[in-house]
Amino acid sequence: LVDFRAEKPNWCPGCGDFTVLAALQKAAVNIGLEPEQMVTVSGVGCSGKISQYMGSYGFHSLHGRSLPVATAVKLANRDLTVVAAGGDGDGYGIGMGHFIHAMRRNIDITYLVMDNHIYGLTTGQTSPTSDKGSKTKTAPDGAVEEPVHPLQMALMAGCGFVAQGYSGNLKQLTELIEKGMQHRGFSLINIYSPCVTFNKVNTYDFYKSNLVNIDEDASYDKTDRFAAIRKLEEHEENVTGVLYHNPAKQAYDEVLRGYPEQAIAKNDLKITRDQWEKLAVQFK
Ligand code: SF4
């Protein structure tokens, strides 16, 4: 576990993101990864700092752009385990277009979204997942918009692994991340990760009283996409566990015709003098 530790986090004491980092580190160890076999790519926000704190390779990208960077990393070196991470504002606001297309393409990435229903780094504005009516700095009388529903969107976009975790349950979150990383294709793990400083509604106490753990329901069929949609509606999305898993869906690099077996990054890029001279003439 020590190998996956890097900088000491400076999140507010009690922030849910501490648990997400711990779960990611534990999951990496549990599935036998070495730090150099993994890349953590993040966007911008409090949660975006995770790529500095995770002792794997890391890339702290631009706001909302963790998925295109993670896509490039995976396609260049398919041997790496690639995790993209960020918050609800980063991923479901400015990054929404990338989110939908990464799922549609089924890039082999595990996407962790630390969903605290608010913009934390910029001190508490309404985010895409803020509940209708929630009061924030930018909506002092209560948000009038409907929130986005990322799990439902993922199910409709054909995502092959859709799960939700909670920062108050490290054990379950670790297992979800392990399963997500082992799934071949895009996996979404939305994580209720309380912002203890700016969100006084979606707190640990709120989740403790409202969340239903579907992993404990042996009769729930995780391969039934419509059952997953019904489950979300039944519990107003306050569920944790694997909602949907389709292991048969092929990942992008498996179906792309002509994609080399060997990671592109490992190809011999040496060129002969003859080839170099031809190139030089071409670009003269
Ligand atoms: Fe966490 Fe909120 Fe503090 Fe950001 S502002 S570190 S999300 S508690």
Instruction: Give yes or no for residue 38 CB within 6 A of ligand 1.
Output: no
Q: How far is the CA of 136 from the centre of ligand 1 (A)?
A: 15
Interface predicted TM-score (ipTM) = 0.99
Per-position DSSP letters for the chain, written without gaps between them: -GGGB-SPP-SPTT-THHHHHHHHHHHHHHTT--GGGEEEEE-SSTGGGHHHHBSSEEEE--TT-HHHHHHHHHHH-TTSEEEEEEEHHIIIIITHHHHHHHHHHT-S-EEEEEE-SSBTTTTSB--TTPPTT--BTTBTT---SPPP-HHHHHHHTT-SEEEEEETT-HHHHHHHHHHHHHSSS-EEEEEE---TTT-SSS-HHHHHHH-EEGGG-TT--TT-HHHHHHHHHHTTT-EEEEEEE-TTSPPHHHHSTT--SS-GGGS-----HHHHHHHHHHT-
Closest residue by CA, ligand 1 atom 6: 11
Closest residue by CA, ligand 1 atom 3: 12
Low-confidence residues of the chain, pLDDT below 50?
none
Looking from the CA of residue 45, the nearest atom of ligand 1 is 4
Determine the length of the chain: 284
Ordered structural domains, the chain, with CATH: 2-282 (3.40.50.970)
Instruction: Give yes or no for residue 124 CB within 6 A of ligand 1.
Output: no
Instruction: Give yes or no for residue 17 CB within 6 A of ligand 1.
Output: yes
Is the CB of residue 42 less than 8 Å from the CB of residue 48? yes
Residue (of 179, 171, 177, 204) closest to 113 by Cα position? 177
> What is the C-alpha separation between 168 and 132, in angstroms, rounded?
24
Instruction: Give yes or no for residue 195 CB within 6 A of ligand 1.
Output: yes
Instruction: Give yes or no for residue 167 CB within 6 A of ligand 1.
Output: no
Q: Say what the pLDDT of residue 276 is.
A: 80
Burial of 269 (0-12, 13-18, 19+ CB in 10 A): exposed
Instruction: Give yes or no for residue 253 CB within 6 A of ligand 1.
Output: no
User: Would residue 132 be called left, alpha or beta, if left means φ above 0 and alpha means ψ between -120 and 50 degrees?
Assistant: beta
Looking from the CA of residue 196, the nearest atom of ligand 1 is 8
Q: What is the pTM of this model?
A: 0.94
pLDDT tens-digit profile of 24-81? 999 999 999 999 999 999 999 999 999 999 999 999 999 999 999 999 999 999 999 9
Q: How far is the CA of 44 from the centre of ligand 1 (A)?
A: 13
Q: How far is the CA of 77 from the centre of ligand 1 (A)?
A: 33
Q: How far is the CA of 233 from the centre of ligand 1 (A)?
A: 29
Closest residue by CA, ligand 1 atom 1: 15
Q: How many CA atoms lie within 13 A of 49 on its CB side?
A: 15
Burial of 277 (0-12, 13-18, 19+ CB in 10 A): exposed
φ, ψ dihedrals at 78, nearest 5°: -65, -15
> What is the C-alpha separation between 16 and 116, in angstroms, rounded?
8
Instruction: Give yes or no for residue 29 CB within 6 A of ligand 1.
Output: no
Q: Say what the pLDDT of residue 48 is.
A: 97
> What is the C-alpha separation between 201 and 204, in angstroms, rounded?
9
Distances 116 to 87, 108, 126, 206, 241 between C-alpha atoms, Å: 7, 25, 11, 12, 18
Q: Say what the pLDDT of residue 279 is.
A: 77
Candidates 18, 46, 117, 125: which one to mutate for ligand 1, based on the most atoms within 8 Å of Cβ?
46
Q: Say what the pLDDT of residue 2 is.
A: 75
Q: Say what the pLDDT of residue 75 is.
A: 93
Q: Is the dihedral of CA 38, 153, 43, 77 positive or negative?
A: positive
